[in-house]
Structure 1
């Protein structure tokens, strides 16, 4: 198979599959010519297309209103079935490992009886997808349904990789939290970013899981009986990823609660120390205050009075220190 190249129409590229061979698609006219062959099915990628380009491609496919955007993936209607074709809203993601920032972009998928079309904002890297299309020979006779399976499998693989990264980062944050001399601010920042990215990742998984479930339940024409076990496997993977995301989110919440509890305990210890030292310093303050009164008292203006006051201050301080140390207040 030849690699797909962008030529006359920068936003359109694709591959035409036939029993004997496969060839690249770079224009709507080439696409139309390929679809004239009843044994050919195609994959088409639209990178940030204009309205004119969408209209041109829709016309080439024989339906001027065909390529319209389905509901956003964040909504409940992740999949829409119209006549003989299916429109699927999905999300692809990229996780920046140093910052744990999650970049999410919408991906619109149009599944026709003999064409699989994806429409994205230009950030989707289809290199691995095209490589898998080229290597897929076992189920190629199943047509567009198998291309759809590969596409969803790639999206789930991205989500699985992101979850593995977040899970590993969670272990590192736990180790940092329990390390001696750990500073709370970096741990709090990392914990917050973990929670935010996990929640965003979960919002990407759920619509895709529901979309695969809808494909199975509605018995879409693009999925042949031979592909049902493969799509059932996709659904099971999506359910597993959603549960994994829930588990990470719960662990991050528990980690945050643990950190708050540890900070509260540390504050209590500090308050005990401050209170204990204040009580110790209150002894010399009380003694000097007593001996500083302007009335005669035993030992006034004498060496004995000085030593008695000094002994009371030092002895009282030592007694309080020993008492507080024994109670683990210091």
Structure 2
């Protein structure tokens, strides 16, 4: 792990964050309601109050914590210097100041050091419940069988609690899923149908998490026979980091063409971006991304006519 590189990126991100909050009129107006400039500089106490209001409104911190703005003053100072700027803290600054897509993209590019895929979903579907976790790493592999049907999906991910009391993970999946097996980290709980055709199941965690705690999940999805699926879509509402998605075809069923694709919806419409990817000799195609957010990614393929 390049810790020196991470420190440099965090410092550069903190510097940019401070510049944006001190120069963008919309952001300045947001914090100046709570305090004027100090010696021509950003009022960090006022910025801390904006963050506190956001955390209270989002339910991330309880309203009863009246000392939160004071506690956050030190966080603001350390975030500006890059000394203590984490992905979660950066998310909170972005949310609290309702930052533009352009500013978000620039901040994340510097922080992560590479491009991800974000903000292709322009009309988000409703949530079954508020998202209270963040995915820190995701590896997902899809399997297509000899009969050209999607047969299996294996998922391994690390989730981090954004608040105390996180006891489940909401797994959104395709309607053609017939069985979900959790091999590590939890068990299947409540079933949901919501958001204009979305389907999900709770994975109840083995132990509830406190804010900042992480746990690993491993689970497998099986699909109904004869589904004839020719695309797989993986949505991300909040930021998901360190993403690897792969699809595997058997020697008897290799596609004529395969694309890594990006969509604007969980189920509807064609890709808004895509590029051709090649199969490895093993029959696998794999794409790695530093992050995805407010987007839908996956693969689609076409068969040779028989």
State the TM-score bracket (shorter-chain normalisation): under 0.3
> TM-score w.r.t. structure 2 length?
0.22
Question: Comparing both structures, which one devotes a greater share of its residues to helix?
Answer: 1
Q: Which has the higher contact order (CA 8 A, sep 6+)?
A: 2
> TM-score w.r.t. structure 1 length?
0.21
